Amino acid sequence: CLYDLILYRLHESPEEEPHILLECDSGVLDAIQKHMKLYKIRRKVNITPCLDLSLWAVIPGEQAGDIASSLEKCADQAPVLSPDPRTEVMGWRVITKKGVNLSEIIPGSHVGNIQDYHRHRYKQGIPEGVKDLPPGVALPLESNLAYMNGISFTKGCYIGQELTARTHHVGVIRKRLLPVQFPAPLPTDSIPEGADILTESGKSAGKFRFGGGELGIALLRLANVNEPLYLNIGGDKVKLTASIPEWWPKTASK
């Protein structure tokens, strides 16, 4: 599946190209570009979109063979070939030249669509992009970034580092992003952004972030995960169920 993302090439000279590849949500393309240029100061660094490259998610099927050896054979056709750094269940990430057909490179594979990719990651509870991780709202630890190689507790500094480090070391995180499922597919635009998720007694259990069909992701209180949960949509009570992803560390849900 092709990511709905933009790749940036950062380099100081053609000989070093590509020096750094930065992946971002295409919805914040202009904001990211302005942010990076703000901190460039007087450095001779060019920041340009990599419109000649495509980023792919390679997700093994239930009967997939040795995908690692298959991918290694196409290494010379891919500038970047690496396991997804977030978690093993997300497979591999491959960057190719525009127009390359991965189904011709990886034997036995087929090209899906972006909806297939989003369904897979929502089923696994993997947040991505500004809909799942709204800027200024999403907190790193509640978003499970510590489980996905997204936070370093030995490097600094960054905005919010003190709060993030203190919360991590105290070990008390009451809310987390979790995969949720509805009994039947729901139109995405029928759910208000940040809609409240309630317990059977009407107590707030968290907020819905985003999803597609019958799957989605929500910020929920861990204490309410095993309770009957409901989303209020236009006056109707829609039931949903939440689950703890299997790829989480075994002590994570405590």
More confident residue, 171 or 144: 144
Residue-level pLDDT at 199: 95
pLDDT of residue 101 exceeding 80, the answer is no
CA distance 206 to 219: 5
C-beta neighbour count of 241 within 10 angstroms: 14
Three-state secondary structure string covering 18-47: CCEEEEEEHHHHHHHHHHHHHCCCCCCCEE
Residue with structure tokens 């940036």? Answer: 8
Report pLDDT for 9: 62
- pLDDT, one tens digit per residue, over 34-63 is 988 888 877 778 888 888 888 888 887 755
Over residues 137-141, the mean pLDDT reads 90
Q: Which domains does the chain have, with CATH numbers?
A: 5-124 (no CATH), 140-242 (2.40.30.160)
Per-residue pLDDT for 245 more than 90? yes
Average confidence (pLDDT) over 191-197: 88
Share of the chain above pLDDT 90, in %: 36
